[in-house]
Amino acid sequence: MTDTAHPVQKTHALLADGRTVAIRPTRPEDHAAVVWLFDRLSAENLRLRFLGASRRAGRQAADRVCAPPTPGHRALLALLAGQVVGLAEYETGTDPCSAEIALTVADDLHHQGVGTLLLEHLVDRAGQDGITT
Count CB neighbours of 87 within 10 A: 28
The rounded mean pLDDT for the chain is: 91
Q: What pLDDT does residue 5 have?
A: 46
The 8-class DSSP code of residue 69 comes to: P
Q: Are 81 and 109 in contact (CB under 8 A)?
A: no
Q: Hey, CA dihedral for 62, 67, 71, 75, is it positive or negative?
A: positive
Count CB neighbours of 72 within 10 A: 15
| Chain-centre distance for alpha carbon 103 | 6
Percent of the chain's residues with pLDDT above 70: 93
CB burial string 4-36: b at 16+ within 10 A, e below:
eeeebeeeebebeeeeebebbbbeeebbebbbe
pLDDT in tens, 28-72: 999 999 999 999 999 999 988 898 767 789 999 999 999 988 889
Q: What pLDDT does residue 4 have?
A: 45
What is the CATH number that goes with domain 11-128? Answer: 3.40.630.30
Q: What pLDDT does residue 3 have?
A: 45
The whole-number average pLDDT for the span 108-122 is: 97
Question: In whole angstroms, what is the distance from residue 117 CA to residue 105 CA?
Answer: 11
Q: Show me where the domains of the chain are located.
A: 11-128
Whether pTM > 0.75 for this model: the answer is yes
Q: What pLDDT does residue 28 have?
A: 96
Question: In whole angstroms, what is the distance from residue 3 CA to residue 11 CA?
Answer: 17
Instruction: Please determine, for residue 6, whether its predicted confidence score (pLDDT) is greater than 60.
Output: no
